[in-house]
């Protein structure tokens, strides 16, 4: 018997559940289909939200030749062979071929670069599916030629409809099986349709003739089948949140514990390392500037080493960050500055700070009166750098730690009372 997820895979967009923001009446992809022209796109979302199914249905709606590759087992040679075939096909058919690449984030730079020419020339419409942030995992050159669409976890209504569909498959009807444990199964699936169907399949396999699969039955069947750390579900985000908050709270014991949870759950090593870079900048910042360097070096190291040895490198960095002094003054400074820009707009820059590459710019007073700091003692001379309307406005306020207080005293010696005490 086919897996349940395959049996119930939608055959057209009218059967597709969820992602109304993309394929609903006013959805971006629906509008592209209406004009018969789909751009090259990245479908980004957690597991089990219908990325592959949507890609296949989009190609079907376009009535275009479809080629599929999996980044897990395809190399540059496979890509080039498909592109060569698609290019020839494009010469003789009016419909542009569609190339679907599942898990495109697993392609290395060379493999991604091999797609550039075909996408740029319009030989193919490329659809890539990924569970990872495209900004980190897709080459900038390729990403700039594609539109990114985010797929959301399925909501309760969609998942309930999927359970109803499963209740109506021939196998369930022939054996008198009926699912009533909607709430329990939906909670266990955490928005992942594939996981939901796998759970239902387990219940069907262990259900006797005519059994009602209620919550009690489902719990018994699934008691040993649950994954405690779902990379695409709520538990994933809960563990990551606890991890970051433990580092921020200077608790190395809890920090290492949640690191272990992520490692045992099969989390991507680069995902963890990226979180450490963010933590070093946001929560430690100027209190220990070496923390950001440590986090960056950690990212480079784990990228080269991989599992399982990377767990040691990550542990070292996590303990270092957790035990470092903390400051979010840089984080608060940029927030305050951005809010000021949003409120006051693009205020005039002082003439002395403007670029003067031409005689006209010089005639307009650009750079006039600018004092070159390196010509003065301590490489500093007092002058106005902010727009006139914001003179004396403070964005960065040093925190009460030794390193920032040293910086603060230095600034006070330079600026006296300009920015307050």
The model's pLDDT over 3-24, given as tens digits with 9 standing for 90+, comes to: 888 889 999 898 999 999 999 8
CB 355 within 8 A of CB 367: yes
**Residue written as tokens 């990212």?**
299
Domains of the chain with bracketed CATH: 18-150 (3.40.50.300), 156-222 (1.10.8), 234-323 (1.20.272.10), 348-415 (1.10.3710)
Return the structure tokens found at 358.
């031409």
- Per-residue pLDDT for 127 more than 90? yes
Q: Identify the pLDDT of residue 117.
A: 86
- For residues 335, 339, 344, 349, the Cα torsion angle rounded to the nearest 10 degrees is 20
Is 104:138 a contact under the CB 8 Å cutoff? yes
* H or E stretch at 320: helix 310-323
342, pLDDT greater than 90: no
DSSP secondary structure code for residue 8 in this structure: T
Model confidence at 178: pLDDT above 70: yes
- pLDDT tens-digit readout, 185-211: 998 887 889 889 988 988 888 877 888
Q: Supply the Cα-derived Rg of the chain in whole angstroms.
A: 28
Q: Say yes or no to pLDDT of 226 above 70.
A: no
Report d(CA 188, CA 192) in Å as an integer.
9
Q: What is the pLDDT of residue 227?
A: 44
pLDDT-derived band of residue 54, with 50, 70 and 90 as boundaries? very high
Whether pLDDT at 408 is above 60: yes
What is the predicted pLDDT for the residue at 60? Answer: 92
Nearest to 181 by CA among 207, 205, 216, 209: 216
Instruction: Quote the pTM value.
Output: 0.56
Q: Is the pLDDT of residue 76 over 90?
A: no
Q: Which pLDDT does position 19 carry in this prediction?
A: 92
* Range in 192-201, 212-221, 342-351 the model is least confident about: 342-351
Q: Kindly compute the dihedral angle of the four CA atoms of residues 211, 215, 221, 226, in this order, to the nearest 10 degrees.
A: 150
Q: Does 158 have pLDDT greater than 70?
A: yes
> What is d(CA 162, CA 52) in angstroms, rounded to the nearest whole number?
17
Q: Which residues contact 255 (CB under 8 A, 6 or more apart)?
A: 243, 246, 247, 318, 319, 321, 322
| Angle formed at CA 188 by CA 187 and CA 189, multiple of 5 degrees | 95
264-300 exposure pattern, b = at least 16 Cβ within 10 A, e = fewer: eeebebbebbebbbebbbbbbbbbbeebbebbbebbe
Banded pLDDT at 90 (limits 50, 70, 90): low
User: Which of 216-225, 277-286, 302-311: highest mean pLDDT?
Assistant: 277-286
Q: Does residue 49 register a pLDDT over 60?
A: yes
pLDDT tens-digit readout, 278-295: 999 999 988 889 999 999
Question: 268 and 299 in contact (C-beta within 8 Å)?
Answer: no
The Cα 366–Cα 357 span in angstroms is: 9
User: For residue 232, is pLDDT > 70?
Assistant: no
Q: Flag the least confident range among 172-186, 306-320, 355-369.
A: 355-369
Give CA–CA dist 78/166, Å, rounded.
37
What's the confidence (pLDDT) of residue 420?
62
Residue 92 pLDDT:
59
Cβ 149 vs Cβ 28: under 8 Å: yes
Which residues lie closer than 8 Å to 416 by C-beta, 6 or more apart? none
Of 18-22, 56-60, 128-132, 365-369, the poorest mean pLDDT is in 365-369
Q: Give the pLDDT confidence score for residue 390 in this predicted structure.
A: 83
Instruction: State residue 228's pLDDT score.
Output: 46
Three-state DSSP at 280 gives helix
| pLDDT band, residue 316 (cuts 50/70/90) | very high
Mean pLDDT of 386-408: 82
């Amino acid at each position: 018997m086919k897996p349940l997820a395959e049996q119930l895979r939608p055959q057209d967009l009218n059967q597709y559940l969820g992602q109304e923001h993309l394929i609903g009446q006013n959805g971006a992809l629906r509008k592209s289909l209406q004009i018969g022209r789909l751009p090259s796109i990245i479908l980004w979302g957690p597991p089990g939200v219908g990325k592959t199914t949507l890609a296949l249905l989009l190609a079907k709606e376009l009535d275009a030749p479809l080629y599929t590759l999996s980044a897990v087992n395809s190399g540059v040679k496979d890509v080039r062979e498909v592109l060569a075939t698609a290019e020839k096909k494009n010469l003789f058919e009016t419909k542009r071929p569609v190339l679907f690449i599942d898990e495109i984030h697993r392609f290395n730079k060379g493999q991604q670069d091999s797609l550039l020419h075909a996408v740029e020339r319009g030989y193919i419409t490329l659809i890539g599916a990924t569970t990872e942030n495209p900004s980190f995992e897709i080459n900038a050159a390729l990403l700039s030629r594609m539109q990114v669409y985010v797929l959301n976890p399925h909501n309760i209504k969609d998942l309930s409809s999927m359970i109803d569909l499963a209740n109506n498959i021939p196998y369930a009807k022939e054996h008198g099986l009926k699912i009533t444990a909607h709430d329990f199964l939906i909670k266990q699936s955490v928005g992942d349709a594939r996981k939901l169907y796998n759970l239902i399949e387990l219940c069907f396999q262990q259900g006797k003739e005519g059994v009602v699969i209620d919550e009690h039955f489902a719990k018994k069947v699934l008691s040993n089948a649950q994954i405690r750390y779902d990379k695409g579900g709520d538990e994933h985000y809960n563990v990551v949140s606890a991890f970051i908050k433990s580092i921020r709270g200077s608790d190395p014991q809890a920090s290492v514990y949640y690191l272990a949870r992520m490692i045992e759950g099969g989390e991507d090593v680069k995902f963890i390392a990226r979180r450490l870079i963010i933590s070093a900048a946001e929560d430690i910042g100027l209190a220990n500037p070496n923390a950001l360097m440590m986090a960056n070096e950690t990212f480079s190291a784990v990228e080269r080493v991989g599992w399982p040895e990377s767990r040691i490198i990550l542990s070292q960095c996590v303990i270092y960050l957790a035990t470092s002094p903390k400051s979010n003054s840089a984080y608060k400074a940029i927030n305050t500055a951005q809010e000021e820009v949003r409120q006051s707009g693009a205020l005039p820059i002082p003439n002395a700070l403007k670029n003067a590459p031409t005689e006209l710019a010089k005639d307009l007073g650009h750079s006039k009166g600018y004092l070159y700091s390196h010509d003065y003692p301590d490489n500093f001379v007092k002058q106005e750098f902010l727009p006139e309307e914001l003179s004396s406005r403070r964005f960065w306020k040093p925190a009460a730690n030794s390193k920032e207080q040293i910086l603060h005293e230095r600034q006070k010696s330079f600026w006296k009372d300009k920015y307050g005490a």
